[in-house]
Structure 1
Amino acid sequence: MVDVLQSERDALAGMDLEAIMGCAYDKYELCGRMDDTGASEIDEECRGLLDAARRLNEVNRQLRNLIAANVSARLEALTGSPALYRARSAAPAYAYTGARG
């Protein structure tokens, strides 16, 4: 997972859509495999790797958000009009996704 997340960061930096989609698929597959693993089967080394993966995923999420904000700003500048979609301010961002345990 750590390797996939590092590849995703490279793909995001290079704006390589095909690689980004490939990484998304790989993450989905790996999460499916990890879901089948019980907490008692995870040793300290694996916990460390999972923590590193969690941090890398958060960095990648922030990078994706920065890229999206930059694209939105550029589109607004080019079109001279605000974005068609604005998130409702009453609901916190990503509140609808729920939390994974």
Structure 2
Amino acid sequence: MVAVLQEERQALAGLDLDAIMGAATGKQALCDSLDGADPAQVDDECRGLLDAARRLNEVNRQVRNLIAANVAARLEALVGSPALYRANPAYAYAGARG
């Protein structure tokens, strides 16, 4: 999972849509295989890897959100009208704090 998340990060950095979609498919396949895992059988080494994967996934999520916000701003500038979607106030507030 860590390797797939690192590949996703590189794909996001290069705006490589095929690689981004490949990483999404890889993440889903790995999540499906981990779905039936027993948390009681996870040792300390696996917990460390899972924590690293969680952190990488969060960084990648933030990068995806930044890219989406950049695209929305550019589209708004080109069209000259506000975006079709606006976050509700609670979500906007949470985003401003984070």
Percent identical residues: 71
* 3-state SS of 1:87 partner: coil
1:97 matched residue in structure 2: none
* 3-state SS of 1:92 partner: helix
Deviates more, 1:1-10 or 1:38-47: 38-47
Letter in 2 for 1:48: G
Quote the RMSD (CA, aligned, Å).
1.2
Deviation at 1:83, TM superposition (A): 0.8
1:25 matched residue in structure 2: 25
Structure 2, gaps ≥5 residues long: 93-98
1:61-91 alpha-carbon deviations (Å, 9 max, x no partner)? 00000001111111111111111122222x5
2:71 matched residue in structure 1: 71
Structure 1, gaps ≥5 residues long: 94-101
Letter in 2 for 1:3: A
1:37 matched residue in structure 2: 37
TM-score by length of 2: 0.88
What number of residue pairs does the alignment pair up?
92
* Distance in 2 (alpha carbons) for counterparts of 1:54 and 1:28: 14
Deviation at 1:45, TM superposition (A): 0.4
1:49-72 alpha-carbon deviations (Å, 9 max, x no partner)? 000000000000000000011111
* Distance in 2 (alpha carbons) for counterparts of 1:14 and 1:26: 18
* Distance in 2 (alpha carbons) for counterparts of 1:14 and 1:92: 28
* 3-state SS of 2:91 partner: coil
* Distance in 1 (alpha carbons) for counterparts of 2:55 and 2:85: 29
Letter in 1 for 2:5: L
